[in-house]
Structure 1
């Protein structure tokens, strides 16, 4: 699937939550995949697939030249081939989460992913150092999913300001014609989200690809 028609690096130019904060951001380019972006109607269930596609686009730009981002049917096929899902999973509207994203990235790129589990949102503060270290060492985007807050999202950075932290969220639930980075930022499809604004009652799983981009030395 070509990424040439999709917006890239939609976080660029977004204002900081606090001007005094320290930012640790994704390194290299990625394409923004979202509901219906390729004409495939995945509204209501495809957010995990779209976030995976965004991560795959980063791999292709920064790690594996000329590879294609897998379509949603191809992602389902891979998970069936790996025997993670039954054959009935094909052409279904079943969601995928961080574990499935890890499996597909490992299959397509031979890259391991670290899974970080947080029992509830109010404990996200405990993994701040892990996320900072990830962006500093690898610079790859992160996939985040949960149970109550079950929608998947991309994490493109973390900002630290004293005892507060915010995650740079890229939301794949956007439906419509892509206008511009500024449009998506103004509408909240990419935003800085303070950790305190994540649901305290939801657990969260994060998939952290362990590969350095070409921009990391």
Structure 2
């Protein structure tokens, strides 16, 4: 996961969010200005077997998903809290090296375009990688336009590039404007696809 590709477009992380079973609509948002104590984390995890965390760097975000026993998820959650506030996505990845293996040289396995914090409820657009990389924007745009996500103008949109590793992880880049109708912007989508179009991450 080459996080240096977008390092010049982000600010230091000040917030993040946890979600269980991919339910980002019900995410627990955390802020580095307020300490989260151990009891809060234990109560949140409960008897879950899977938890994910996203750290936000302006409108770019990095996510990691961990599966395991509650004690493993607690260790993972503590690491996420510790990594919150890193100055760049790359620094966050290095801090989470135990779980994602740092900056992998493997390409993204697939990508999804979705509505931020409404990923499941609206429904994402999955983009499979070919041996030659991701499809060109010209080939994707008709599918994007007629999809529920493409028709939605209420939520911010992002494209997530997903990677394997000890834990699944992803980087999300914005593909809609910050003001007005939040429709998917073809130029932003094309730019994001170009960033991660190569056959190998360097």
- The two structures have a TM-score, normalised by structure 2, of 0.35
State the structure with bigger RCO (CA 8 A, min sep 6), 1 or 2: 1
Q: Whose strand fraction is larger, Structure 1's or Structure 2's?
A: 2
Q: Whose helix fraction is larger, Structure 1's or Structure 2's?
A: 2
- The two structures have a TM-score, normalised by structure 1, of 0.33
